[in-house]
Structure 1
């Protein structure tokens, strides 16, 4: 019973945070590892829960009208394709080197966000054009690929990229990020399920708690806006960077 409560509370918190600013995997993966799931099984089970939470937060964002559907119609296929290739790809680069590269990039994002006054505070989106659509496609494909094979910080990079390319505020960037995240998460989940790396008796309860957390988190984010999302975004970016350093050192 205590393990069940621990899983439900951990899943809720992870999805609540992830729906606002990304980085929920920093919470959800350790929760599954603590209760004794092997690494590969934990990854697949976490994808099940993460996709469930992402589904509800995406629903809430879409329903609120904070997503740009014209843009997403163009970017979602690239996120899907990137995720498929990411899961299937056997990388030549070692995980330790990848950790270092991602750490440098995500720390740079955090520092830039912190020092750039007004970044993401107001929605400055004007219009879609060929240049920003192409850049968005590259962003969606690259981070779909990254989310498929590795994952930490994918939502953080997506949110930051959408702010820089389209001039969104944090609220609208987070809303569109959730749709792209949902695409890559569901794609990866199907592949994990096919390979038998999902523990369903845990995943179902974990998924339900994350659905609730994702829905409530998105609701709070929509109500509070960028003033809430930006500081949580910074905290989660620093958290992802710290986790990568810890993994590399050990």
Structure 2
């Protein structure tokens, strides 16, 4: 590998982790970047998951350090995410994930439009507290998105933020913290599966992971400091870009 190749990968990783730590969606940069630079698809998925897991771990620790998450609820939801991710990874070996593309495009467009036009969403934390209702809603969110991340993946972090905003009435910062911690759980589950199948190029993954750790630290601190003012526009932009990318992929398949 040339120095230029490593520098390019690190730049891609930094930008991806920076965006992902704020509003999810970093995969729109990192995975295509690996493919453009010639990494075979299966190894690109595994390598990207290794680097992304390191970044999401760093981002999660920062949210935890500054107490920008709801541990009382997450202690239940972690198990839902883990179960969903395991089922998702097992299912992807049996089914064609491309069948989900149209549904995901529609959902992403809805997320972007809803977030754009509902101005008061996520400005205040109106979560009603941990009870049977919120645990049930949270478990449904965590199992479904854990499954989705293991099965397909694009936009998982953005979906977490949106559903925590709309269904549980958290503000943008707590939604981002909760989502990032749960996203790390599903990431590490998928990573273990890729590692067991030997689909990680560590010579690429390690330097890229180091750059992504730096991007995640910076992005998370900015998200905690600026809240809705920063997270809202990036969430809208990321979901729209993902939808456009997926439409492009379908039309050029």
Asked if these proteins are the same fold (TM beyond 0.5), I'd say: yes
Q: Is residue 179 of structure 1 aligned with residue 181 of structure 2? A: yes
C-alpha contact 2:155 2:242 (8 A) present in aligned 1: yes
Taking the TM superposition and a 5 Å limit, the aligned residue runs for 1:96-245 are 96-245=98-247
Classify the secondary structure of the residue corresponding to 2:125: coil
How far apart, in 1, do the equivalents of 2:72 and 2:198 lie? 36
The structural deviation recorded for 1:167 is 0.9
Deviation at 1:143, TM superposition (A): 0.5
TM-score, scaled relative to structure 1? 0.97
| TM-score normalised by the chain length of structure 2 | 0.96
SS at match of 1:89: helix
1:75 aligned to which of 65, 77, 81 = 77
Tell me the CA shift for residue 139 of structure 1.
Answer: 0.7
After TM superposition, give the deviation of residue 37 of structure 1 in Å: 0.6
* 2:97 and 2:151 in contact (8 A); partners too: no
Alpha carbons 1:119, 1:169 under 8 Å: kept: yes
RMSD: 1.2
Q: Is the 8 A contact 1:140 1:180 kept in 2?
A: yes
From 60, 63, 66, the equivalent of 1:61 is 63
Deviation at 1:135, TM superposition (A): 1.1
Are 2:23 and 1:21 equivalent residues in the alignment? yes
Contact 1:171–1:221 (Cα < 8 Å) also in 2: yes
Contact 1:28 1:46 in 2 (8 A): yes
1:93 CA displacement? 6.0
**Alignment size in residue pairs:** 250
Shift of 1:92: 6.9
Q: Judge conservation of contact 1:49–1:204 (CA < 8 Å) in 2.
A: yes
Contact 2:25 2:158 in 1 (8 A): yes
